[in-house]
Structure 1
Amino acid sequence: MRLFHTSDWHLGQNLHGQERDFEHASFLTWLLGQLARRQPDVLLIAGDIFDTVNPPVKAQERLYDFIVSAHEQQPNLTIVMIAGNHDSGSRIELPAPLMRRLRTHALGRVLWLDDGQLDAERLLIPLPDATGQTAAWCLALPFLRPAEVTGASLGDDYLRGIAKVHELLIDAANARRQPGQALIAISHAHMAGGTVSEDSERSLIIGSAEALPASLFGSSISYVALGHLHKPQRVNGEERIRYCGSPIPLSFSEIEYPHQILEINCTGETLDSVETHLIPRAVELLRLGPAPLAEILLHLAELPNTDLLADLARQPWLEVRVRLDEPQPDLRQQIETALQGKAARLVRIGAEYAGSQGRDGDDNERLIELDQLSPQELFSRVWQDSYGSAVDQQTLDDFALLLQQVQLEGEHT
């Protein structure tokens, strides 16, 4: 059996106000080509399909057009996609009855039966091979929100609730599968030891709990297709537990990430290989600085001139970080003037001021924009400014739970 593993598409994402539909369209066209060339039996999409719980119409059209095109091109392809923390589980599942006609399974939520047992059947998906025989079972684990794994029968311990869901689903899968059938898990979570992008990955902290142990996936699982972390990586060095990463750089901190999909090959229950297919970058991201303004202006002058015959949609996105000794009221004007006729699209200017006492007692204070701070960091700074002391852990835990409730309610507005 051959499977493709991809995740974290973030359809509808804006880069500092600039839409990225061209980049997403380029990726999906490339992915269709890879499906035609490699003919996998299964495509796994491990969450964060959209960038927000209420994605723009164009982003939704991109997803559904891709699914229809993939099915028309390869009628026997099975697609399994799950909701991530950026997605609305309800929205992902809404067209599920229609998508099943296209051999696409959309799982956004974990549900419990009236007797308090996990509804494991809806999370177990048979995966047929090229002959039509069930060669594996997919264990679909969308992002698990507190309301789904805590409560009267489960208790209030979020990590314990997550562990219980994994235990029950794996037990149900082992009871269902026949000898020789592999178990393939797809999950959207932050696993312990994973490397996080500094700018573009929303924290999954619930109270003081964040990273999940790899031990949740026992040896009976042949492969675990993970989503959430944008940098491709193995978990604890295990070949069978992998993040494939995002298909495009979602922030300037991800410029050096290799963007890829993974091809998984199994014979029976044995994982034979995991191969990398690098995704061509439709639009480059450039970051200049931090450096003094004079040096930045020299770098801008060295950028290539605009080719009037070139596709403007392929011009690089540019972030400029300037180190200043004093305020420069016309900073943006100077940079925009230097960029006239250059093949780059300016999306952000960041300034760092020298010579003032920083928050942590250093000699430099960096001016940080709101979109660079997580909600927890912003809350901590406001608390410090308001009360003159660091926020205590219990208050941070309470804030994190409140934040999750607000995000969950946002899915239904």
Structure 2
Amino acid sequence: MLNPRRRFLATLAASSLATPIAQAQFRVEIAGVGATQLPLALTRFRDEDRSGVALSAVLRADLERSGLFRIVESSGALDERSQPQWSDWRSRGADSLVAGSVTRLADGRFDVRFKLWDVVKAEERAGQSLVVAAADLRLAAHRIADLVQESLTGERGVNATRIAYVTRAANRYTLRITDADGEGGQVALASPQPIISPAWSPDGRRLAYVSFYTGKAVVMVQDVSSGEYRAVASFKGSNSAPAWSPDGRKLAVTLSRDGPSQLYLLDLQGDSLRRLTQSSAIDTEATFAPDGQSLYFVSDRGGGPQVYRMPVDGGGPATSAERITFNGAYNISPAISPDGRHLAYVARGTGFRVMVQPLDGSGPAVAVTDTNDDESPSFAPNSRLLIYATRSQGRDVLMTTTLDGRIRTRLLSSGLDVREPAWGPFGR
């Protein structure tokens, strides 16, 4: 894994079609207990064993990973047509109950139905029927999890969103797009050369990333559906660290075309290049604020790498940037939550750990991981979770965490090193 320190030093040195996934399937390990969790009972869906997908298991993992729910153990045969025995479920400590069924239709599709009950009020709360192809059964479970979460908390779930990440096996690099739990999806690109820094467009239709297929770093943009890709930044020197503007019309990139690595803004045709920073330091790893008015980025202008903020239309001297991180002497890889409330970054202490701090200054930066080789934090679109890469038991792995660090999920792949995660937006 190219750890954060090596990646920043690589930047310093630089300044002198969609096919089905056959492997890289994940299993999920969830650790920790949330501060406040809603007790929810979940039964096996009737006839789910005939569908080939354990929908209730997918649903359970989704809800547990959110950190919002405590699953109450349950037994017995229930489906969406049942009338629950309220006193029984109350005695088990459940506030809510989910049950459903899976029925194969004559055309080969499946009718997935569920119902959510409020056990305390003894009434139905939500329900739906989803008719899907066999290949979309897991997606149906993710969508049910999101509906349950939104109904019970008022907050939109992210289980039906997608992530992008890079795997490495035998010096072969593969950019993959999967469901938020790492399952299913497609191969976007396979290459004998490294692929780094994938970034989703705001509409989820395109990915920007850095490819070394020409022998040097080049920024590419690829259409997720068609697999078509093209270079948008292949200037002299290094081209790296793409970040989408919130309107999806421009990219902030790091270029060394004019000397030390600096931030530039360009359109998707690779034209209208505008230099954003004018320092003698290394400026890199830009990310936009949700309102599009400012950029957060990493610079060593103060002697060591720290996160700074500057107005997008600044493009002026180094004094136009405001330092944001002060926790230690080495802070890199900034990510801003979609709601604009939190900054995540990687700090070097005894190791490299993901930190989270409120942007309004209402609290200190806190470590949300217990590993030592963390990199590439990326927020879920509802701003409640982070995905990041780290090392565990000698492998490069992906993990998610709640913003308080209480619930962590490890996505374990099958013999592959996994890195460079990026969480996609709502919609697919």
TM-score, normalising length from structure 1?
A: 0.27
Structure number having the greater helix percentage: 1
Structure number having the greater strand percentage: 2
